[in-house]
Amino acid sequence: MSQWLTLVARNVLRHRLRTSLTLVGLVVAILAFGVLQTVVKTWYAGVDGAVPSRLLTRNAISFALPLPKSYQKRISAVEGVRRVTHLSWFGGVYKDSKNFFPQFAIDAATYLDMFPELLVPDEVRRAFLRERRGAIVGRKLANRYGFKPGDVIQLRGTIFPGNWEFLICGVFDGRDPKTDTSQLFFRWDYLNETLRVRSKAQADQVGVFAVDVVSLDSVADVSQAIDEIFRNSLAETLTETERAFQIGFVKQTEAILISIRVVSFVVIFIILAVMANTMAMTARERLREYATLKAIGFSPGYVARLILAESVLIASIGGAIGIGLTPPVAAHLAELSATLFPTLIVSVNTVMLQALAAVVVGILAAALPMRRAARVSIVNGLRALG
Amino acid sequence: MTVVHISEARTGEDVLIALSDVSKSYRRGAQIVPVLARLTFDIRRKEFLALMGPSGSGKSTMLNLIAGIDSPDKGSIRVGGEDITLLPEAELADWRAANVGFIFQFYNLMPVLTALENVELPLTLTSLGRRERRDRAQLALSLVGLSDRVKHLPSELSGGQQQRVAIARAIVTDPTVLVADEPTGDLDRQSAKEVLEIMQRLNRDMGKTIVMVTHDHRAAAHAKRIMSLEKGDLSYLVEQRLE
């Protein structure tokens, strides 16, 4: 190791407690930054995972309001539409209201065809189609509550009155890690038939129609055509791409997302201030050493590079540990948050942002001490107290 | 003892360092404090000169000027024929690396480097290879009697030993001149004696030119020549020859 590197490395270890505390701060900051960025990205996961050729038709007033099931046939007849399915938000409570997870009533056969990102084993699919009270659950949900095929679970309806029993037919997985596997799907016909008895006004309605179009070029025309059909009807529709639908959904929580983003950068700014203070203190204590180095012939640049390297090295070590801890912590957070964050996967972009943040903190924290140490006169530096 | 005025400085001798009409002042707030005014004197090659004088007389300033770590307001300082006041900062740093060995009152060793690494440090500015640097640093440490302390950190050495490491660091590049600012000021009597004897040996046996600032008459007595810079009359230098 060169003398320069030796000096840098040993200087890092010189005040072990101070370096350790700074490292802890850096680790926490980079970790928090990464987790918060991941949370924001996850919020947009639905947007990223949206299929361009899928349209969603909802009630024009609000997606909380239903549409008549009878619309399905008329939508299917629109030119450019390949197939149509539907899903309805159920909003039931499993045992306790804190046990939140998404539940949808679907048209089993068509829905699973149109959403190939849900990997449902053939035997599970067959059982689901066979069993009127059948339900399939995502892997994460099954793991969380220990659901297994053959279990009968009960949900208390909040939108649809009464207690609802479902028979778990099996577990589905996601095609990629971003696919939400914290959901439960059950059959809409079961919901509808029961509603005809319990709450007739809510029967024969669905939440959203999912429309698969033949060609991407016809997406705009098909959307317009669908909405045109139902103009001036009792339930006007709004048809948009799945992506636009997801963005609209996310937009409702945009203020929260912005706050999370701001907080993530505030965390970095705070650690920058802490790190800058540490480096300033370090450089001030070593002013006489730097002056000595300059006296015996080392350039101000050499001294500045010593400080910069030390700062960047500390920041990099802290950053690396923080980055390393982010995936397990995010995964743990996803577990703890139950179904609020179905997946918290740390993206490559987030890792790069974290690394960049660590390096930038290292560089900026060293800037002023470097300048001071490089510019201080040798005579004044030699007078400085060590 | 001979007392001469600076105006009687030697001519035609083997002059290594020549200060000519050197003035230096410092700014203290709005006030300008003159420290040296129109100082002219020479230092011969292979000389061991002790600079004495009361606090604030400007002896350390003069040492700093000779060592090229401070610059005069006016006048010239020639070392080995080269006017160092004309050198830009980067060249001056190179000049110091090649020509000046520093011995400080508080040793100024790098606390994270071992004795050997401290001594090797100035050699990293040269084109020498790692092995040669190590060999030279070891040789320098053996000259100051610290061959058995090469792997010790400064904190593991006594004050006297640390100053000996500093001397080894000062001589390892074989500089033209050694400048020592109160080299025994932080040492007990025995350690001071050892350090001064080493300096004396470096001057006598190896022909090193040494300029030492000291308050201590016992330390000054080890020099070949003592100059006393008197406070109040900055242009006046008293010299006593110990021969």
**Residue A268 · residue A29 · CB < 8 Å:** yes
- Closest by CA to A115, choosing from A29, A31, A56, is A56
Residue A298 at interface with chain B, using a CB cutoff of 8 Å: yes
Higher pLDDT, A332 or B167: B167
DSSP E strand boundaries for A95-247: 103-106, 118-119, 134-138, 152-156, 163-174, 184-187, 205-206, 208-213, 237-241
Distance CA B123, CA A186 (A): 79
**Average pLDDT of the segment spanning B166-181:** 95
In the prediction, which pLDDT does A2 show? 81
Q: Are B108 and A289 within 8 A, CB to CB?
A: yes
In the prediction, which pLDDT does A386 show? 55
Model confidence at B8: pLDDT above 50: no
Indicate which of B108, B113, B128, B169 best probes the interface with A, i.e. most A CBs within 10 Å of its own CB: B108
- Closest by CA to A105, choosing from A231, A195, A11, is A195
**Residue B41 · residue B226 · CB < 8 Å:** no
| Minimum distance, in Å, between the CA of residue B61 and any CA atom of chain A | 9
Model confidence at B243: pLDDT above 60: no
Chain A residues within an 8 Å CB radius of B125:
296-298
Question: Which pair of structure tokens corresponds to residue A330?
Answer: 């995010």
In the prediction, which pLDDT does B177 show? 96
Residue A337 at interface with chain B, using a CB cutoff of 8 Å: no
Chain B residues within an 8 Å CB radius of A379:
64, 69-70
Chain A residues within an 8 Å CB radius of B121:
3, 293, 296
| Minimum distance, in Å, between the CA of residue A13 and any CA atom of chain B | 9
Chain B residues within an 8 Å CB radius of A382:
69, 104, 108
Question: Which pair of structure tokens corresponds to residue A59?
Answer: 């009630």
* A189-227: pLDDT as tens digits: 999 999 999 888 899 999 999 999 998 888 889 999 999
The number of C-alpha atoms within 13 Å of B176 and in the hemisphere containing its C-beta is: 19
**Residue B105 · residue B152 · CB < 8 Å:** no
- Please list the ranges in chain A whose pLDDT falls under 50: none
DSSP for A252-291 reads TTHHHHHHHHHHHHHHHHHHHHHHHHHHHHHHHHTHHHHH
Q: Are A297 and B98 within 8 A, CB to CB?
A: yes
Single-letter amino acid, residue B11: T
ipTM: 0.91
Closest chain A residue to B172, measured at CA: A296
Model confidence at B111: pLDDT above 70: yes
* B203-242: pLDDT as tens digits: 999 999 999 999 898 999 999 999 888 764 544 566 666 5
In the prediction, which pLDDT does B165 show? 97
* CB within 8 Å of A19: residues ≥ 6 apart: A12, A13, A314
Q: Are A297 and B111 within 8 A, CB to CB?
A: no
Q: Are B97 and A297 within 8 A, CB to CB?
A: yes
Average pLDDT, chain B: 88
Chain A residues within an 8 Å CB radius of B67:
295
Residue B108 at interface with chain A, using a CB cutoff of 8 Å: yes
Distances A348 to A31, A96, A246, A268, A322 between C-alpha atoms, Å: 14, 37, 23, 19, 14
DSSP E strand boundaries for B120-200: 177-181
In the prediction, which pLDDT does B175 show? 95
Residue A386 at interface with chain B, using a CB cutoff of 8 Å: yes
* B40-91: pLDDT as tens digits: 889 999 999 999 988 888 889 999 999 999 999 999 999 998 999 999 999 9
Strand partners, B101: B178
Question: Which residues in chain B (167-186) have CB-CB distances under 8 A to chain A?
Answer: 169
- Model confidence, pTM: 0.76
Q: Are A297 and B96 within 8 A, CB to CB?
A: yes
Distances A28 to A143, A326, A331, A365, B70 between C-alpha atoms, Å: 29, 10, 16, 17, 46
Q: Which of B93, B106, B113 sits opposite A294 (nearest CB)?
A: B93
Pairing outcome for strands A184-187 and A103-106: parallel
Distance CA A275, CA A29 (A): 11
* A273-287: pLDDT as tens digits: 999 999 999 999 999
| Minimum distance, in Å, between the CA of residue B99 and any CA atom of chain A | 10
Question: Which pair of structure tokens corresponds to residue A303?
Answer: 């001294």
Q: Are A292 and B93 within 8 A, CB to CB?
A: no
In the prediction, which pLDDT does B3 show? 41
**Residue B208 · residue B178 · CB < 8 Å:** yes
| Minimum distance, in Å, between the CA of residue A6 and any CA atom of chain B | 8
- A-B contacts (CB, under 8 Å): 66
Question: Which residues in chain B (189-228) have CB-CB distances under 8 A to chain A?
Answer: none
Distance CA B57, CA B39 (A): 12
Residue B70 at interface with chain A, using a CB cutoff of 8 Å: yes
